[in-house]
Structure 1
Amino acid sequence: MNSFFLLLLLLVIGVVTAVGLCGYAFGTIAGHGVRRASRPARLRFLAALTGAGAAALYTWGALHVLGGDIAAGDGGAGSAPIRPCLEAGGPERGARTLRTSVSVIPIRLVCHTSTGERYTAAVPGYVNPAVAVLSLSGAVLAVGAGYAGELDARRNKAS
């Protein structure tokens, strides 16, 4: 039940972050105008947009993990073997699954078997690599925006 509240918190934070970064991105570009925006403003726009994409995808993965965690914790009829693990690992591995745990970075539901094997379930395979690429791209673009802004400030000071 601990992971349930953590995942709900991650969902709320992810949605707020994605919406906030989208608002910042479009506010930045709209304040200057698309065609008149400086290079730093365009880079800030792209950095915020890629950050929003990373937050949205991470939230999507957290939603999958939350669904898998709820299904794994359901103690009703048909709860053994654990359904998300059965779907991900097949009938043989799913039948040996004893418990699940939640990993936050990268976002995943981990199934633990009686033989000590661990495998992931519930999160689509594209989520974590896409979050990593978008996060790294956003960070590079943000650093580039700062560098471009510094170069523009030095050019304006020298003129």
Structure 2
Amino acid sequence: MSKAPSSLAADSPDGIDSILLLFICLIGVIVIFTLVGMVGSGIAKRTGRPKTRAEWLGGIALLSVCATVALYIWGALHVMFMESYNMREECAKAGGEAKAAQVDRYSASYFPLRFTCRIDEGGSYDAAVPGYVNPAMGVAFALAIATGAVSVVARDQNRSTGPTVTRGR
């Protein structure tokens, strides 16, 4: 026996807590502003001399982390706003009215970001989170890791090949 469509819209998906997602989004915004401030500070401090490869790569790594966090926030907001009022409409948009009529519950996932419409016969399909969010977040994260690692290696090479200062008596 299935529920009436009006009661489906009032249900909340399994495993989603709006307060937690809102907190995650708030922390993400703080992280983004902090990292952008770090990049800006690094640029402002080094205006008189040319940037090293390590500095450029470190800045790209920080900006990639910002992109990853921003994409996560964007997807999390989609999931959070699905919880409140239009879950059935999004399920209908993603799978059609026939499938949406068979939906008996919803679930959501934080990683990867996903909002799932569960069909009473045991099937399911994803809705609401734009399809580009998770792949783009993965690419931005991989870029952050790669450029961060190369930046550290380049910085260590600069230190080992740079002039050594010895202090004698």
Q: TM-score, normalised by structure 1?
A: 0.86
Give 1:46 deviation, angstroms.
0.4
Deviates more, 1:139-148 or 1:19-28: 19-28
Equivalent of residue 90 in structure 2, options 84, 93, 99:
84
Q: 1:34/1:68 Cα in 2 relative to 1: closer, same or farther (>3 Å)?
A: farther
Superposition pairs of residues 8-157 of structure 1, within 5 angstroms: 8-33=22-47, 36-72=50-86, 82-156=88-162
CA contact (8 A) 1:69 1:109 kept: no
Alpha-carbon spacing, 1:50–1:123, altered in 2? closer, same or farther (3 Å): same
1:72 offset after TM fit, Å?
5.0
**Alpha-carbon RMSD:** 1.9
Higher mean alpha-carbon deviation, 124-133 vs 34-43, is at 34-43
**Displacement over 6 Å in runs of 4+:** none
Residue ranges of structure 2 left out of the alignment (5+ in a row): 1-11
Q: For the residues of structure 1 that align with 2:83 and 2:48, how far apart are their CA atoms?
A: 44
Q: Structure 1: which 5+ runs fail to align?
A: 74-81
Q: How many angstroms apart in 2 are the aligned matches of 1:122 and 1:26?
A: 35
Q: 2-side partners of 1:58 and 1:147: how far apart?
A: 28
Counterpart-to-counterpart distance in 2, 1:153 and 1:100: 54
Distance 2:75 2:129 in 1: 6
* Larger Rg computed on CA atoms: 2
Q: TM-score, normalised by structure 2?
A: 0.82
What is the CA–CA distance in structure 1 between the aligned matches of 2:49 and 2:128, rounded to whole Å?
43
Match of 1:79 in 2: none
Determine the C-alpha separation between the residues in 2 that align with 1:66 and 1:89.
20
Task: Give the C-alpha shift of residue 70 in structure 1.
Answer: 1.3
8 A contact 1:54–1:131 mirrored in 2:
yes
Q: Return the alpha-carbon distance in structure 2 between the equivalents of residues 105 and 133 of structure 1.
A: 15
Paired positions, count: 151
Q: Summarize deviations over 1:114-155 as a string: whole Å, max 9, x none.
A: 011121111111111100000010011111110000000010
- Alpha-carbon shift at residue 91 of structure 1 (Å): 0.8
Query: What is the alpha-carbon distance in structure 2 between the residues aligned to residue 23 and residue 123 of structure 1?
Result: 29
Structure with greater helix share of residues: 1
